Structure 1
């Protein structure tokens, strides 16, 4: 029996959108959330976010928080605060600007050094080859190698201007987040904590036994 809308399970996912200045992060988010594109945007100061409600399937409704993180160097010291609580990320570069491609490694390493899953693994991240409506000066093989070497889930060509590849990239990341969440639940539920028996009434031991406290989730 299908659940009605008000009975659907709900999840909130915080997703980061990272990359150098001018790579189209704000346009990417705006196109996905509002189906709007503007040629000129002011550079994001610090961070900003937009929310999109998504009916994932007949039983699950997802509230996406897409966080637009400023690409300016002066805000790099604040990324740990902005990253907190995120479960997935996009790292964006502009296919027509080689310098932004070179910045991908910096962003991925910063993300992986400041935000990890409880298992110690990186959160799922996807590489976006943005502005694919323009001529790319980065060879496909070089992009694929970087994607593999840095541990991205996948890479996708996107264009906020022409609304190309955005929905697909979002769906792939959400699918990976859900898979990761399920895997974590299985892993954590498989951790065996021995149950100690209560001391016998005639025991000479006057100290009560206590189960070890579970570690507080962070």
Structure 2
């Protein structure tokens, strides 16, 4: 752990949604600052790392897990979801059917993963491809979020880098609020960060072993 920071945390954040909604594009934009109109189809799951110097005492390492859209409700999602502390559900504004799938993804998340004290994961919704269809936001999204206790949703565009940082920062804020208010996953998060730091020095790469 760096001497510059008193705390170094690792948060696993899931990015889920139907096939082709832009999950990989959002993750690449946030983690690497890049965008490509073409990405290979995600098979199973993949992840990227984003490091945030959150304040003068805290460094946060975020593992963004890209869950393939074809994995919905498959037995492997329980494995992929393990140790997650938050999630973003993505749908495509140009494909209305992907919004209706959000409810199924949310139910799958809440059925298979929760915080240590049984509280549900913090979840945000990303209405992606806002650069071409910002006027097609489903009118029922506000009611859906209220009914399902989702505090935030954003119109995003990975292509134009619209609301990506803002949305992910909101997720981190909710995770930290849970940590402060409920003393959740504190020791695990620090331990995971230390393991990651050790793996970087020993192997020259990140090894996710949990």
1:110 and 1:60 map into 2 onto residues whose CA distance is: 32
* Counterparts of residues 81-160 of structure 1 (less than 5 Å): 81-136=79-134, 138-160=136-158
Q: Which has the higher helix share?
A: 2
8 Å contact 1:16–1:66 — kept in the other structure? yes
Q: Which residue in 2 is equivalent to 1:215?
A: none
Kindly name which structure, 1 or 2, has the bigger radius of gyration based on alpha carbons.
1
Q: Which residue in 2 is equivalent to 1:61?
A: 59
Report the more deviating stretch, 166-175 or 129-138.
129-138
How many residue pairs end up in the alignment? 183
2:102 and 2:72 map into 1 onto residues whose CA distance is: 17
Match of 1:91, SS state, is: strand
8 Å contact 2:73–2:108 — kept in the other structure? no
Gaps of 5+ in 2: 185-210
8 Å contact 2:44–2:71 — kept in the other structure? no
* Counterparts of residues 1-218 of structure 1 (less than 5 Å): 6-73=4-71, 76-136=74-134, 138-185=136-183
8 Å contact 2:134–2:155 — kept in the other structure? no
Distance 1:150 1:165, change over 3 A: same
2:31 and 2:136 map into 1 onto residues whose CA distance is: 28
Report the more deviating stretch, 52-61 or 5-14.
5-14
Higher RCO, 1 vs 2 (CA within 8 Å, ≥6 residues apart): 2
Report the more deviating stretch, 33-42 or 69-78.
69-78
2:164 and 2:45 map into 1 onto residues whose CA distance is: 21
Normalised by the size of structure 1, how large is the TM-score? 0.79
8 Å contact 1:97–1:137 — kept in the other structure? no
Normalised by the size of structure 2, how large is the TM-score? 0.82
Query: Aligned-pair RMSD on alpha carbons?
Result: 1.8
State the Cα deviation string for residues 160-191 of structure 1 (Å, max 9, x = none).
Answer: 000000010011110000001112129xxxxx
State the Cα deviation string for residues 49-77 of structure 1 (Å, max 9, x = none).
Answer: 00011100111000000000000157722
Gaps of 5+ in 1: 187-218
